Amino acid sequence: MQASERIAVVTGAGSGIGRAVALALLGAGHAVALAGRRRDALEQTASRAASGTRALVVPADVTDEESVAALFACVTAQFGRLDLLFNNAGMDAPGQPIDALTLAQWNAVIGVNLTGAFLCARAAFRQMKTQTPRGGRIINNGSIAAQVPRPRSAPYAASKHAITGLTKSLSLDGRGFDIACGQIDIGNAATDMTQAMSKGVTQADGSVRSEPRFDVRHVADAVLYMANLPLDANVQFMTLAATAMPFIGRG
């Protein structure tokens, strides 16, 4: 590891926001462990990085405690420390009324979005607390659903509201160990997951309307800004959304 190089883990790095953030970190000189369930998708991300950058592909399931432990052990063995975790892996359930949701659908979303974020944050915290020099930064990917939910989105909205609580708790617990924690809440970044929004999304009044999106590179730039702050400064919460989307005053 070079003296000035910082080490990052990005979960959900095989597509969308995770891929964009991982590539931005690599481009800024970080060594980045690309974590996700699908090796082929992670390798595609790594193949898009500029030559000379250090991307480590580590297939991992964030809902599995042993898999998460193996991910962070691999990072420590390869790089010796950890400076940044971008807790990004997430999923949604089909939009439907809560009385139509199955327990399996609820558990799947909570397992990835909340339990997965907890397991990764716990592993990162343990490493950052004990390494020399100690400390590091955890950035949680929330969502504007952490503030204002969409209709028929109970599992996703509940998980993202809980991420806000996790962010605040990590911020408090990390103070004595030079561990900073912040959260970025994103609305309508242009990824495969949001493609349907340009065709039409159900609104709070039951109507269906198309919504604007914005280039995902702006998310990568925002996370990179948060990541590059010294540990005595922190973006606690950032909201980044398409300017004309129905967020302010939703409902």
Active site residues: 156
Return the closest-CA partner of residue 250 out of 184, 205, 200: 205
Q: Which residues pair with 202 in a beta bridge?
A: 208
| Eight-class DSSP state of 237 | E
CA distance 153 to 157: 6
Using an 8 Å Cβ cutoff, are 57 and 41 in contact?
A: no
Residue that is written with structure tokens 């955890």 in the block: 138
CA distance 176 to 218: 32
**Interacting residues of 167 by C-beta distance below 8 A, sequence separation 6+:** 140, 142, 181, 182, 183, 236, 237
